[in-house]
A and B are shown apart, each in its own frame.
Chain A
Amino acid sequence: MSEKQQKASAYWKENLGYLFILLAIWFAVSYGAAIIFKDALNTIQIGGFKLGFWFAQQGSIYVFVILIFVYVRLMNKLDKKYGYDE
């Protein structure tokens, strides 16, 4: 493998690592907190919201937005590290 190819595959590996972590969080808030564990979380009340219901109609959406911006930051850094930024 040439140096260029090695660099490319190292970059790709780190990228996949980020994706795995971010998508795990994506799954946990929407399918976990808002659907599978909804009833358990609904026993907790914050203000007027039952927590499971809050995740389903508010919280998961906030987390989605944050996830994409975290991804943007991580990837911009990664691009710099490998000299792929422009």
Chain B
Amino acid sequence: MNDVQIWTYALVAITFGLYIGIAIWSRAGSTKEFYVAGGGVSPLANAMATAADWMSAASFISMAGIIAFAGYDGSVYLMGWTGGYVLLALLLAPYLRKFGKFTVPDFIGDRYYSNTARMVAVFCALLVSFTYVAGQMRGVGVVFSRFLEVDINTGVIIGMVIVLFYAVLGGMKGITYTQVAQYCVLIFAFMVPAIFISIQMTGNPIPQLGMGSTVNDGSGVYLLEKLNGLSTELGFAEYTSGSKSLVDVFAITLALMVGTAGLPHVIVRFFTVKRVKDARKSAGLALLLIAILYTTAPAVAVFARTNMIETVSDKEYSSMPEWFKNWEGTGLLAFDDKNQDGKIQYVADKAKNELTVDRDIMVLANPEIANLPAWVIALVAAGGLAAALSTAAGLLLVISSSVSHDLVKKIFVPNISEKGELWAARGAATVAVVIAGYFGINPPGFVAAVVALAFGLAAASFFPAIVLGIFYKKMNKEGAIAGMVVGILLMLFYMLKFKFGIFDGGKAAVEGLKASWWFGISPEGFGTIAMLVNFAVSLVVNRFTKAPPENVQQIVEDIRIPSGAGEASSH
């Protein structure tokens, strides 16, 4: 065993022990503790938990890698996944907290006085959460397989057991306090290597500033200028300019923002604080904590990209450092010496390019590329696991509460006892972990694509229904249901047609269909259009159907006033 492995085993063991300890200490005794942690979580603890919940394996492992290869175009993720919090804080969180229920389908069902609306919402919540959680399990598997050299499947199963243990035992209460610990682990693990590399490359210890500084070699050239130069030399687009069309960048950013605000596992966090003003403050703190990682990621991207090009481009294959061989072993990095000169040609031209790099390895490989000490490399592994596990746990909770609370209690067995409901929730969580684990071991081949679908679906279904429910008193159930159904079906249709090509002969047809995108908008950005259609359909149908009953309009008046929120309840 080498140093990195010993450190990785040690750090993973310590952090996992910590999570399990917290789960035992804070296990849930009632449904209220299980669903909303008893409703008494402090704004700061809630913000840390929200941040850990939100920053998944995708944020921690993939995002900086995507940006490293996409340059300016990668900004859609940075703005999309942070700007949504502004919408959440201003348009949703305070009012949903005042409304005081356990789940998002609860709000939809009660506000639109209809079990049909509730069912539609449950369906959307399950679809969104399952697609998301499968990706997290895969992330756990990748980290385990690279750093502990176990099989990816074994990694997934270990992850399943851990999550199962604390989600099923602790419910929201256990998850919230474990997520607080996980936030600390993941942010530390992300920042330490970033700071090291920033000092190494630019002499500036703050990565956000280092990114805009001059290179540390006395030449006085700005780092970004140098990277622009390297990129264009090899035939890639200029790093700071990007190559996506303006309308598509606009649409993707908006879809991700609105999708963020509509994701049930994020919204539900704001049910766990005491007062409406705590919900507002908590949203602000959560974004602040998230922004630490999100403003560092683009810096990491610039460092990693520059480092990588300089290390490999036009260099002898035989002189490659150890990390290169390590990652070749996982199949995520591959060299094919097309012109047989023994050197690595890394260029934009596909016919001449000899190196393929999986975007997901950039963050994990970055500390190795920069020759950082073994404990830093191990720390990144522990951080990646924290990010993946915390998000998976939050999603599992949404799945289990959707089943036990919204389906079992509100629709099928209304007179179920508190204890029975708690066991239903635990049972649902167990089944959900097993299904998620199955998809982690047998990924449908398009996990990344399905994650984008999750945002589109949330944008196309929940966001308009919730916003109209709060800001438009006369919005009725017919309009809301019609809007959600049309929005989600339209989004599904567009994704199936243009992302999976199922109407035109499968995945092979996808490239050719790009020319016929509606308004030039990619499937990732189509959530924006589907959301607008949802709004339009809702308002038109509302115009021609009966106004909501007086008592519902009274509820809307009531949620607009922040005082007297009381505790979240099931009635």
Contact = CB atoms under 8 A, between A and B. Distances in A.
B240 A61 contact: no
A30 B240 CA distance: 16
A3 B366 CA distance: 63
B563 interface: yes
Contacts of A42: 240-241
Contacts of B562: 75, 79, 84-86
A75 B75 contact: no
B212 A49 contact: yes
B287 A48 contact: no
A72 to B, nearest CB: 5
A79 B277 contact: yes
Q: What size tier do the contact residues of chain B reach?
A: 35 or more
Contacts of A68: 85-86, 89-90, 280, 283-284, 287
B295 interface: yes
Contacts of B82: 60-61, 64
B275 interface: yes
B253 interface: yes
Contacts of A60: 78-79, 82-83
B223 interface: yes
Interface string B210-222: 0111100000001
A22 B208 CA distance: 25
A12 to B, nearest CB: 5
Interface in A1-58: 8, 11-12, 15, 19, 22-23, 26, 30-31, 34-36, 38, 42, 46-50, 53-54, 56-58
B438 interface: no
A54 B208 CA distance: 10
A64 to B, nearest CB: 5
B526 interface: no
Contact of B90 (A11, A22, A34, A61): A22
B234 to A, nearest CB: 20
Nearest to B214: A48
Contacts of B283: 68
A31 B18 CA distance: 42
B44 interface: no
B298 interface: yes
Contact of B224 (A48, A56, A75): A48
B91 interface: yes
A67 to B, nearest CB: 6
Interface residues of A, number: 42
A34 B85 CA distance: 18
Given A30-B79, A36-B246, A47 B222 contact: yes
Contact of B213 (A19, A46, A48): A48
Given A19-B90, A65-B284, A56 B79 contact: yes
Nearest to A42: B240
A14 to B, nearest CB: 12
Majority DSSP secondary structure for residues of A touching B: helix
Interface string B83-121: 101100111001000000000000000000000000000
Contacts of A34: 75, 79
Nearest to B247: A35
A72 B287 CA distance: 13
Interface string B240-261: 1100001001100110010000
B90 A30 contact: no
A11 B561 contact: yes
Contacts of B91: 19
Among B72, B79, B225, residue most surrounded by chain A Cβ atoms (within 10 Å): B79
B352 interface: no
B563 A71 contact: no
A30 B563 contact: no
B557 interface: yes
A12 B560 contact: yes
Contacts of B240: 42, 50, 53
B229 to A, nearest CB: 13
A86 B564 contact: yes
B509 interface: no
Contacts of B288: 65
Among A31, A36, A54, A56, residue most surrounded by chain B Cβ atoms (within 10 Å): A56
A36 to B, nearest CB: 7
A71 B257 CA distance: 18
B90 A23 contact: yes
A23 B306 CA distance: 36
B294 interface: yes
B492 interface: no
B291 interface: yes
Contacts of B83: 26, 30, 60, 64
Given A23-B90, A30-B79, A58 B224 contact: no
Contact of A65 (B277, B287, B561): B287
Interface string A67-85: 1110110011001000111
B346 to A, nearest CB: 23
Q: Which 3 A-B pairs have the closest CB atoms?
A: A48-B222, A56-B75, A68-B284
16 contacts: A8-B560, A15-B560, A19-B90, A31-B253, A38-B72, A42-B241, A56-B78, A56-B79, A57-B74, A60-B82, A61-B79, A64-B291, A68-B284, A69-B284, A75-B280, A85-B563
Given A35-B253, A71-B90, A79-B277, 5 more contacts: A36-B246, A50-B240, A61-B291, A62-B295, A75-B280
Interface of A: 8, 11-12, 15, 19, 22-23, 26, 30-31, 34-36, 38, 42, 46-50, 53-54, 56-58, 60-62, 64-65, 67-69, 71-72, 75-76, 79, 83-86
Interface of B: 67, 72, 74-75, 78-79, 82-83, 85-86, 89-91, 94, 208, 211-214, 222-225, 240-241, 246, 249-250, 253-254, 257, 275, 277, 280-281, 283-284, 287-288, 291, 294-295, 298, 557, 560-564
